[in-house]
Amino acid sequence: MTSSLLLMNPALSWTDPEATAALRFKVKPFCPPAGACYWARRWRSPISAMIPNIHLPMRSLEVKNRTSVDDIKSLRLITAVKTPYLPDGRFDLEAYDSLIHMQIINGAEGVIVGGTTGEGHLMSWDEHIMLIGHTVNCFGTSIRVIGNTGSNSTGEAIHATEQGFAVGMHAALHINPYYGKTSLEGMVSHFEAVLSMGPTIIYNVPSRTGQDIPPSVIRTISQNPNMAGVKECMGNDRIKGYVDKGIVIWSGNDDECHDSRWAFGATGVVSVASNLVPGLMHELMFQGKNPSLNSKLMPLIKWLFQEPNPVGLNTALAQLGVIRPVFRLPYVPLPRARRLEFVRIVKSLGRENFIGEKDVEFLDDDDFILVGRY
């Protein structure tokens, strides 16, 4: 004790006998009453750490301005809507509102906000929730708003979904944890953590997540009353298997959606192409088998997906003049040859079938703005 005090106070010296003597005193050890401190002698794991889901979801039981699970299950044409930008990379809400208006008047029943096509992965969560709330406030009585509040972090998915439903979205879209993949049991737990909050569509796209959501997982979580269905990208055989078991399915592939709907029992499609030709996609989903129209749309659909979505869609909407030619990196426009090809596709399919009123035009490289800081 004496030496430590001296070390802390250099003014005192071992050669100063009076100072040293003054510091020499006996320290009595602290002794609490018998039994008073027993808990500190033997550490025990907190009981709360062993209770799953101690943090209950922030949900309200009040009647909300949103649709039921059954209403979500009935949607046939859902557009994964594009998010347009201003030259500085912020949202172009005027152009966005125009895109939503064109979806409504052409018969789309729902929109995915901030999905892969809407570049939700390039947004902050503040931007993401704001855009969901904006869509609900402006269009929620005319079209079903499905917010992509999924994440590979269960905690983020829970928080974003709580916020999404709080601002009025009608349903949530949830993906399985990507990159940091989990076990099948972990996948079930992830989905169960968010299903309690409201109507939910599960999205299976292994080409992006690196992990398939197998039928065993879907069958398990389909018992939850908030499970609306699955956006399935693994083909029509998988879709048929789910439909036979009474699970609602939307095709996630524009090139397969006609057969998915009319030959394999899918309820409809979550479409990228409907951003461009919503009227034709509505006809494809509502008017019965139409192999002729389906074949007519194939050149456009194949063109859209030559590069990872939404590269083709962003390029096409800019060439149609309905959005500014602004890209948030890492997305960049399709090369010149592909842009020229799009002009030919529009003329072949008929400009009147596409959204917007301006003539389709070829845009040069210098016409595009690439934003890296947003």
| 360 vs 357: CA distance, rounded Å | 9
Cα–Cα distance measured from residue 266 to residue 256, given in angstroms and rounded to the nearest whole number? 11
Check if the beta carbon of residue 250 is closer than 8 Å to that of residue 109. Answer: no
Q: Which helix (H) or strand (E) holds 7?
A: helix 2-8
Buried b (16+ CB within 10 A) or exposed e, 33-52: eeeeeeeeeeeeeeeeeeee
Closest CA to 133 of 153, 117, 119, 147: 147
Per-residue CA distances from 139 to 7, 109, 183 (Å): 72, 11, 39
Q: Which of 85, 203, 242, 331 is catalytic?
A: 203
158-162-165 Cα angle (round to 5) = 135
Q: Are 198 and 171 in contact (CB under 8 A)?
A: yes
Q: Is residue 239 a contact partner of residue 232, using CB atoms and an 8 Å limit?
A: yes
- Whether 231 is a known active-site residue: answer yes
- Per the residue annotation, which of 231, 240, 242, 331 is the catalytic one? 231
Q: Is residue 138 within 8 Å of residue 104, measured between CB atoms?
A: no
Closest CA to 194 of 229, 225, 159: 159
The C-alpha atoms of residue 186 and residue 192 are separated, in whole angstroms, by 10
* b/e map 313-339, b = 16+ CB within 10 Å: bbbbbbbbbbbbbbbbeebebbeeebb
What would the two tokens of residue 158 be? 């829970």
Catalytic residues: 203, 231
